[in-house]
Amino acid sequence: MIKIGDRMPEGHFTIMGEKGPQAISSDDVFGGKKVVVFSVPGAFTPTCSAQHLPGFVEQADALKGRGVDTIACMAVNDVFVMDAWGKSSGCGDKVLMLADGNGDYTRALGLEMDGTGFGLGMRGQRFSLVVEDGVVKHVNVEAPGEFKVSAAEHALTQV
């Protein structure tokens, strides 16, 4: 599992660009910036949609006021789902929606979870990371069924 002081692994995500899906490298996301990235088990799932993503949308200005360049939400979902979820949640340009469609980046972080009991397959755990110029400064992994340390309000105490 990724830990404080580690460099973020090399990899790619997919985002929705003006002309459709486009790849974005982890270096483009994390290099030379202060980033709060959070992961959810799935777009449109109850806690993720009611609290997790909305919390970061609501706290975006406060986080950016403390020097955060990018707030990113990642999930093991396809880019079309992530784009639709971002639009329906009013993300605008406040939260970068990163699709990790096959879970490759999630596995590289060592933060995957088995959601087959819920019909979800392999997904990412609920977590947040504070990253500065590609180096992890804080790791916040939720216990199963919890929603505390990966919330936007907690991130505000770490930036």
For the stretch 21-78, pLDDT in tens is 999 999 999 999 999 999 999 888 777 777 889 999 999 999 999 999 999 999 999 9
Question: Residue 1, exposed/middle/buried by CB under 10 A (0-12, 13-18, 19+)?
Answer: exposed
The reply to whether 91 belongs to the active site is no
pLDDT for the residue 116? 85
pLDDT for the residue 118? 83
Q: Are residues 126 and 147 in contact, defined by beta-carbon separation less than 8 angstroms? A: yes
Q: Looking at the domain assignment, is residue 1 inside a domain?
A: no
Q: Give the Cα separation of 145 and 30 in Å (integer).
A: 28
Q: Looking at the domain assignment, is residue 120 inside a domain?
A: yes
pLDDT for the residue 73? 98
Q: Looking at the domain assignment, is residue 38 inside a domain?
A: yes
Tell me the residue range of the domain where 117 lies.
Answer: 12-156
For the stretch 77-124, pLDDT in tens is 999 999 999 999 999 999 999 999 999 999 999 999 988 888 788 989
pLDDT for the residue 49? 76
pLDDT for the residue 61? 98
pLDDT for the residue 154? 97
Q: Looking at the domain assignment, is residue 5 inside a domain?
A: no
pLDDT for the residue 117? 84
Q: Looking at the domain assignment, is residue 6 inside a domain?
A: no
pLDDT for the residue 46? 73
Q: Looking at the domain assignment, is residue 7 inside a domain?
A: no
Buried b (16+ CB within 10 A) or exposed e, 66-102: eebebbbbbbbbbbebbbbbbeebebeebbbbbbbbe
| Catalytic residue selected from 40, 43, 48, 75 | 48
Tally of domains within the chain: 1
pLDDT for the residue 115? 84
- Supply the CATH number for residue 67's domain: 3.40.30.10
Going by C-alpha positions, the residue among 88, 63, 83, 62 that lies closest to residue 73 is 83
> What number of residues does the chain have?
159
